[in-house]
Each structure stands twice: as structure tokens, then as C-alpha cells.
Amino acid sequence: MCGRYASSRSPEDLVEEFEVLESHVAQPLEPDYNVAPTKEVYAVVDRPPSRESTEPPQRQLRVLRWGLVPSWAKDPSIGSRMINARMETVAEKPAFRRALAARRCLLPADGYFEWYATEELTEAGKPKKQPYFIRPQDGGTLAMAGLYEIWRDPTKDDDAEDRFRWTCTVITTDAPDDLGRIHDRMPLMVEPERWGPWLDPRSDAETVLGLLTPAAPGRLEAYPVSTAVNAVRKNGPELLEPLALS
């Protein structure tokens, strides 16, 4: 799974890198080196200018909450269990298939964290887990494949500004051998030349799934980091510092 990642790019940098035409970021997010489920995150989406417009979709930057709440959900707390969507079943699951059809996004990240079960045991007799940070070797942005939904809060008035909740999930796949030794799953990356067709809501689900492939061997690097990242309240660039293991 992908349950924690880092995102420190500014909205201005993301607008330039992803060729965004319209930013809907009213209040920039602080750089976050320990993004956890239910936090607000940046997402790149393609959407029509308005519901009635016949203009082609426009590239937008938005702030979404991590943990997808399906449009049909009665209780938004379901989002805390919808942080990942498995590529193998995303087209079949009721929670994700409608979003896959027309609401796809890119979730920009510096990299993500995974935990490796070591041979050392805790006092409870369970393997101690060592966190690793996994990022592009070239230091570039990791564009994770995601889905988003817009949930209407039935308790809010029709004119309430917060009546719609925008949420998202990360699509995951089997990790290749060089990363699978750390964890058997990883987020799917979308390469820049595939951003357009992936985001375009007019692309059909069967076509877009063919755009998703695991990272090429050697594209990502992984190194151990401090266990301080285990605590969600901890934040800062020091969480990404390589840790020397004995």
C-alpha cells in the first residue's frame, strides 16, 4: 500500500511543471514531509470550465483530501479506508469504478515511505519495521496515479461553500523486484508523456489502464530513514535524511 508520502513543492512550481491553466488553490499548503491519510494534498485534474460548457477540459490544480469518499456514501468516514485502489480491481470495485471512468488525477510527491520488516523483534515478538523513503533518482516529482470524487454533504445548505468534499485515492500495483524486497506494493507512476490521456475525462477506462505501468528498473531509489516518520505529528525535511544502517 501507499500510506505515507512527502510533498514539498509549491503550487507555483506545480502549476509550471504540470502545465496547469487554472489554479484553485486559495490557501497554499505548507510543505509536508509526512503526508498521512485524511490530510489535504495537491492534485492535478482536467475538468470542463463549467458543467454547461462545451469547451475541452482544462488542466487544474486543486486541494483534495486523501481518502476517497464515493459520491453515494452516506458516511464520509469511509474515506479513511479508501486511501489506496488496487490496479488489479479498480475497474470492478463500486467505490472506484465511476471515478476511474471520468475522475482521474495526478498526485505530485517528492517520494513515498514504506516499512521493511527486519529480522529484529520487538518486545511483543513482532518484527521491527524500518522505514524507507523511495523517490525518483533524478530528484524530480513523482506523479502518482490517482482517482478523485466529489461528495455532496447532505447536512449542508445548497448555498454553503463547503457542501462539496473533494477526496482522492492512490492507485497501487505490485512492486518490482528491486523495491519488492521492502514492500510488495507501490503507487503507480504516470510518465509526463501520458499525463494528457490519463487526465482527460473523455478517455475510456480500458484505454487509461493501459497507460499505467510500474516504474522502470532503476528509475526510483530507496534508502532508510529515521523511525521519527512513524509519528504523524513529526514533520520536516529531516525525515527524508538518509539513515546509516549498521
Tell me if residue 11 falls in helix, strand or coil: helix
Question: Residue 183 and residue 161: Cα distance in Å, rounded?
Answer: 41
Q: CA geometry: angle at 232 spanning 230 and 7, to 5°?
A: 100
CA dihedral 62, 151, 208, 142 (to 10 degrees): 40
Q: Does residue 67 contact residue 166 with C-beta atoms inside 8 Å?
A: no
DSSP β-bridge partners for residue 173: 186
Query: Which residue among 19, 92, 114, 221 is the active-site one?
Result: 114
Q: Is residue 168 annotated as a catalytic residue, yes or no? A: no
Looking at residue 153, the DSSP 8-state letter turns out to be -
CB atoms inside a 10 Å sphere around CB 154: 7
List 2, 105, 149, 168, catalytic entry: 2
Cα dihedral 16, 19, 25, 26, rounded to 10, equals 70
Active site residues: 2, 114
